[in-house]
Amino acid sequence: MRFSIIVPVHNTAAYLPACIDSILAQTCRDFELVLVDDGSTDDLAALCREAVARDARVRLIRQENRGVLTGAKNALFLPGRFNPAARSTR
């Protein structure tokens, strides 16, 4: 995996499918998509689980509502997934 795309989400079920489809349709396929659900109360969790089941590059982090940025920051330190010291070769 070359890089991670972290998408913080909260009560955005109406927009999430288009967001996920757009990201997964990119020509570069060597990435993981990390969806960070910050305690959504709409159908977002089900949509995220469907995306995880559909594509092995998608991961889901669910948490109680603590602020979307808190979850996104925590996603940076997933074991074996992200190396903040890594540099792009481009």
Contact status, residue 90 vs residue 51, Cβ threshold 8 Å: no
- Domain-embedded: residue 88: no
The answer to the question of residue 87 being in a domain is no
C-alpha–C-alpha distance, residues 52 and 67, integer Å: 22
User: pLDDT digit string (tens) for 12-70?
Assistant: 999 999 999 999 999 999 999 999 888 889 999 999 999 999 999 999 988 777 665 55
d(CA 21, CA 53): 14
Task: Check residue 31 and give its pLDDT.
Answer: 94
- Whether residue 88 is predicted with pLDDT greater than 50 in this model: the reply is no
- Give the domain CATH number at 60: 3.90.550.10
Q: Is residue 89 part of a domain?
A: no
Provide the CA 10 distance to its chain's centre, in angstroms.
12
| Residue 81 within any structural domain of the chain | no
The pTM (predicted TM-score) of the whole model is: 0.75
pLDDT at res. 77 = 55
Q: How confident is the model at residue 90 (pLDDT cuts 50, 70, 90)?
A: very low
Domain that holds residue 46: 3-75
Domain assignment of residue 71, yes or no: yes
